[in-house]
Amino acid sequence: MANVSAEQLGSESISSLLIKQALPASIGILVMSLNVLVDSIFVGNWIGSIAIAAINVVLPVSFFIGALGMAIGIGGASIISRALGANNKDKALRTFGNQISFTLLVTIIMVVLGLTYVDSLIPAFGGKGSIFEMAKIYYVIVLYGVPLLALNMMGNAVIRAEGKPKFAMIAMIIPSIGNLVMDYLFINVLDYGMEGAAWATTISYFLCFSYILYFFLSKHSELKLNLQYFRINFSILKEISSLGFVTLSRQAVVSIIYLLMNNILFDLGGEAMVAVYAIIGRMLMFALFPVFGVTQGFLPIAGFNYGAGKYDRVKESIYTAIKFAAILATIVFTGLMIFPAEIAGLFLSHKPGMSELEIATNAFVLENTPSAMRWVFAATPIIALQLIGAAYFQAIGKAVPALLLTLCRQGFFFIPLILILPNYLGELGVWISFPIADVLATIVTGYYLHKEINRTLVSKKI
């Protein structure tokens, strides 16, 4: 898990580089995903299944604001990787400074708007009935910390672009462990309920920010914090935005999907059905961590070698990343098909003195989650091609195809499916929309990736 220098990205074997880049990224994502998973288990067991649904309602808003930082980070990281590959350190430094200024500006504006319209946003995202009050408590506290979350997401992408995946991994591990410790203290020991869950999350953002700030002030970073680079450069900002818009669009679509899913499922089955989706949503974040890790590890390798004109290495990195990710996705798929009921049971409270609503909700969730989970993950083995294919276009700075392929699965296929199929098939129509969208998006991505490899990498080599 050693860090690699920028030069090593262009010389070391692709398999070795991918392992060095993807392993710490996977571990970091695993710990972060475990944090979300265990956090939900703690909340479900210590507060109740309605509380899990309440957090699920808030996630789209906090995710979207955090995604602004991720978008700026990944968009800028693509520029930084190629700039370092072309030995243009000044552009890398200016890009980094603009990332920080832009992240602070847009996220603070979003927080102000989010707090202003809190009573309208929560019901719009499915926070209805008994979910509303818990969701509002969690929302207001967490929203104060999301500018730090955005800076963390931005900084993490830049750390990976420097070829320092070990530090990026640690940056994800610190807040994850901190959040779980704070959860135990605030919820179980001090009995602060939803306020405790929210403050645990917000404090974890601060812990992560502190570590990332340390990294960029230390000798380990090639990109130093310098106020002269914080001045907005509109040409760089335009390039960051065009590439980052790919990530932002993907996360915006995720927020829209949460909005639609929470409302559609609430209409089909009330709070209990939203709780089913909340559990499946946590598994979507957690179970695919190795595939996302390979994708994150692939980005700087492809970007650096493309910037350096080493097209054979770019092509090799694509095929190697798809192979690694597909194997890992198949392993994940097998586990989810075998143990869905056991997974669902982890999230449910068995404390004495539960209300009739809580008991009925638990029974409904335990009965309905296993079959829903099997449908949702049915096409998991093939998603590696879709994720790596879309990431490739982003890594080499081709924003438009990256955007279209990124939106392909969730935006162009999944959203229309969940708007149509439940009208005929009820809740089954919701769950089968997942694998149908996966298959269609993979076919489209495979076609365009193959076409791009033959047209760009092969022709440029010749």
Dump pLDDT digits (tens) for 56-112: 777 777 777 777 888 888 888 878 877 777 778 788 888 888 888 888 888 888 888
For residue 143, with 0-12 CB atoms within 10 Å meaning exposed, 13-18 middle and 19 or more buried, which class applies?
buried
DSSP state of 11: T
DSSP count for the chain of H helices, then E strands: 19, 0
Q: What percent of the chain has pLDDT over 90?
A: 15
For residue 434, with 0-12 CB atoms within 10 Å meaning exposed, 13-18 middle and 19 or more buried, which class applies?
buried
Longest dimension (CA), the chain: 73
Rounded Cα gap, residues 346 and 41, in angstroms: 6
| Mutual angle of helices 49-85 and 89-116, in 10-degree steps | 160
Dump pLDDT digits (tens) for 97-156: 888 888 888 888 888 888 888 888 888 877 777 788 888 888 889 888 888 888 888 888
Domain segments of the chain: what residues? Answer: 1-232, 247-461
Dump pLDDT digits (tens) for 245-272: 766 777 778 778 888 898 899 889 887 8
pLDDT at 91: 82
pLDDT at 454: 84
Helices (H), 308-349: 311-338, 340-346
Q: Is residue 32 predicted with pLDDT exceeding 90?
A: no
Q: Is residue 5 predicted with pLDDT exceeding 80?
A: no
Rounded Cα gap, residues 340 and 152, in angstroms: 33
Rounded Cα gap, residues 293 and 245, in angstroms: 21
Rounded Cα gap, residues 329 and 295, in angstroms: 12
Quickly state the pLDDT bin for 461 (edges 50, 70, 90): low
Torsion-angle region of 129 (φ positive above 0: left; ψ -120 to 50: alpha; else: beta): left
Angle at 352 between CA 351 and CA 355, to 5 degrees: 95
Q: Is residue 301 predicted with pLDDT exceeding 60?
A: yes
The answer to whether 163 touches 300, Cβ cutoff 8 Å, is: yes
pLDDT at 350: 63
pLDDT at 4: 54
Residues contacting residue 120 through CB under 8 Å, at least 6 positions apart: none
Dump pLDDT digits (tens) for 391-446: 888 788 787 888 788 888 888 999 999 999 999 999 999 999 999 999 999 999 99
pLDDT at 385: 92
Q: Is residue 460 predicted with pLDDT exceeding 70?
A: no
Quickly state the pLDDT bin for 462 (edges 50, 70, 90): very low
pLDDT at 1: 44
pLDDT at 29: 67
CA dihedral (228, 229, 231, 234) in degrees, to 10, reads 150
Q: Point out the least confidently predicted range of 228-237, 318-327, 377-386.
A: 228-237
Q: What is the mean pLDDT of the chain?
A: 82
Q: Identify which has the larger pLDDT, 362 or 294.
A: 294
